[in-house]
Structure 1
Amino acid sequence: MDQRPEQKGLLHERYSRQLLFAPIGEQGQRRLLDSKVCIVGMGALGTVLANHMVRAGVGYVRLVDRDYVEASNLQRQMLYDERDVLEMYPKAVAAERKLRQINSSVHIEAVVTDVTLSNVDTLLDGMDLVLDGTDNFRTRFLLNDACYRAGIPFTYGGAVSSRGMSALFVPGRTPCLRCFIQSGDSAGETCDTIGVIGPVVDIVASYQAVEAMKLLVGDEAHRRSSLVTFDIWHNRFYELSFGEPLPDCPCCQLRHYPALEWQSEEQAVSLCGRDTVQIASYGKPLDLELWRSRLERVAVTVTSNPFLLRVELPEGERLVLFAEGRVLVQGTSDAVRAKSLYARYIGN
């Protein structure tokens, strides 16, 4: 935070109310400006988290998301607007564009990809903290295990219906996510099956954000050592103290890291509640201009931007091609049907 006098003055003006808050002060602000965080998932939770991190002056914020903005997102995903929907912008890119207008003094990096065993270590490399904005336990367990292996703190958050939960997990200091949730049922309740209200998202992400700030400024004395759950519609609040880790936890105690054990990654994954199947050819990028010229001959409509290609098929489904090699088959949750359409139009 060594700036010229005029730069220092601008920073003091921007963060003046935060500097006046004694637990942060100037020293804490310096630490925030020197920090690097990775936010995985730029949906409802991720947009609130990114908004708080960027406005607070976290120096480097990496935004990672695999999806693009749709109209159904606007009810609760606070960084997006109707322009993003019309332009079919990837969420990470749309968020970066908006956040740069909010705080141009921090470094914001958008990464449009699915977090997988193949890239998780690269995405988390050099980060001081990972913030969970995901919507599935497959990715959460991957992040949990990768963070504990690398010694990176991980703040967990989840919201569905009017219920939320959050906790900050610190390798070597606290239990991990697996000590509380041994398995995630991808067929359980999701925002896409039973809905979610916007206020619970804001509350969960704000709990995550404040614990993140405590950690980044070094205020260990006031970090919360519990997992909180609540239902804001039915006025319920519970707090589960961390206590000791499970002695047989495969991650934080036995250090086996189940999510990081090498296995061939599934090519076709049904996205829970989305009526969408993701098919990925990792490491095999797609030339979107080439595929546009090919698919225009057989598709009902084809629309594109620099990041993706959206194709309405005669069969009624839709293909969304991403440059890094992923394809979403929208309109079906049947992996066999999705693979069939993929093979018909994209090939093996």
Structure 2
Amino acid sequence: MENSRYSRQILFPPIGAEGQTRLGQARAAIVGMGALGTVLATQLVRAGVGFVRVIDRDIIEWSNLQRQSLYDEQDAAEGRAKAAAAAEKLRQANGDVEIEAVIEDVTWRNAERLLTDVDVILDGTDNFQVRYLLNDVAVKHNIPWSYGGAVSSYGTTAFFRPGDTACLVCLFGPDTAGGGHDTCDTVGVIAPVVSMVASLQVAEVLKYLTGNLAALNGGIVQMDVWQNEFHKRPLSAPKPECPCCQQRQFRALEQRMDGLTVSMCGRQTIQVRPAAGLGTPLAQMAARLAQFGEVRHNRDLLRCDLGNVQITLFADGRALIHGVEEEGIARSLYARYIGM
């Protein structure tokens, strides 16, 4: 059955039986299970990559269904955690692949724990603060990583190999704030560019994992699928003055930045991440919050509807406050209903 499953991929000469065996022994981590992440995960799992860790902090909402291909209407109606729902669907696609779901926000606290036991890291995120963390971990531990971004009708992708290519800091400088970029909140996004960027990311990963290093793109690919524009520019060698890959300064890891993450893509939502964990079982929190509004919960999260505001609370104490735009209001609601 295994040979039948991968027969068409094995018939592709650059992969063949040996390459398929290498894929089965490989380990990958995907950070972000939104638009890019769902395509990345689907293609890697169906290709037979032996271990895939899917990491996401968010829940599924109706606005996701237009482009996040693993989810359905029931997932959105239930507000399921993306990582958990994705893992369930992926296991149905290929039971031979070990899939680990992680419902966490990738920060300096957990990045090395989550990303250093794999052969390759894939970027399915939507913000540069996390991408700088991925770059720091990749450079520090000599792990290749695939960068991908898609917004509106345009996208960008590159495959970074520490020691061989420039890193993210070489390209954009050491500013980990990453502000001033368009987001799907401000300019939207269409599904075709997502699929194209993610497919290019997976193609590079498959080349790398099967040992086809000479076939690697070696450049930064940029496209606008609406304007029919496609460009590639070479990805340079590491810059001698780079504070990250040459001077080994890992600022995103070492600055230890915590706090609120604002503008979860697609709606008015602010994430509150307290310094300490929850300390109370979700079932007990559900009973406490039921006096204020309708509560639904499972082992991964609970959702409390307060009318104009909704709270999604995760087992690690992190919460998404939906329906607000100001950080102070989000903190106040968290303190009032959950406690700091």
Same fold by TM-score greater than 0.5: yes
Matched, 1:232 2:225: yes
Q: Please say if residues 282 and 325 of structure 1, whose CA atoms lie closer than 8 Å, have aligned partners that are also in contact.
A: no
**In 2, Cα distance between equivalents of 1:56 and 1:137:** 28
Structure 1 equivalent of residue 328 of structure 2: 336
- Superposed counterparts of 1:102-117, under 5 Å: 102-117=93-108
Matched, 1:249 2:242: yes
Letter in 2 for 1:298: F
Of 148, 162, 183, the residue aligned with 1:157 is 148
* Alpha-carbon displacement from aligned partner over 1:258-296 (angstroms, at most 9, x marks no partner): 101143x42322135542111113551342111111111
Structure 1 equivalent of residue 291 of structure 2: 297
Shift of 1:246: 2.5
Matched, 1:120 2:111: yes
Matched, 1:260 2:253: yes
* Alpha-carbon displacement from aligned partner over 1:175-231 (angstroms, at most 9, x marks no partner): 111222234633431012210000000000000000000000011110111011010
Structure 1 equivalent of residue 172 of structure 2: 181
Matched, 1:69 2:60: yes
Structure 2 equivalent of residue 137 of structure 1: 128
Of 38, 47, 50, the residue aligned with 1:59 is 50
Structure 1 residue matching 2:172: 3-state secondary structure? coil
Gaps of 5+ in 2: none
Matched, 1:37 2:28: yes
* Alpha-carbon displacement from aligned partner over 1:131-189 (angstroms, at most 9, x marks no partner): 00001000011011111101110100000000000000011111111222234633431
**In 2, Cα distance between equivalents of 1:317 and 1:106:** 39
Moved over 6 A (4+): none
Structure 2 equivalent of residue 3 of structure 1: none
Of 212, 222, 236, the residue aligned with 1:219 is 212
**In 1, Cα distance between equivalents of 2:291 and 2:302:** 14
* Alpha-carbon displacement from aligned partner over 1:223-252 (angstroms, at most 9, x marks no partner): 111011010100111111012322222211
**In 1, Cα distance between equivalents of 2:2 and 2:260:** 47
Of 265, 268, 279, the residue aligned with 2:272 is 279
Structure 1 residue matching 2:39: 3-state secondary structure? helix
**In 2, Cα distance between equivalents of 1:166 and 1:206:** 10
Q: Please say if residues 87 and 305 of structure 1, whose CA atoms lie closer than 8 Å, have aligned partners that are also in contact.
A: no
Q: Please say if residues 186 and 272 of structure 1, whose CA atoms lie closer than 8 Å, have aligned partners that are also in contact.
A: no
Count, aligned residues: 336
Letter in 1 for 2:114: L
**In 1, Cα distance between equivalents of 2:250 and 2:62:** 37
Structure 1 equivalent of residue 194 of structure 2: 201
Structure 2 residue matching 1:303: 3-state secondary structure? strand
Matched, 1:347 2:339: yes
Structure 2 equivalent of residue 4 of structure 1: none
Gaps of 5+ in 1: 1-9
Structure 2 residue matching 1:253: 3-state secondary structure? coil
Structure 1 equivalent of residue 311 of structure 2: 319
Q: Please say if residues 269 and 335 of structure 1, whose CA atoms lie closer than 8 Å, have aligned partners that are also in contact.
A: no
TM-score (norm 2): 0.95
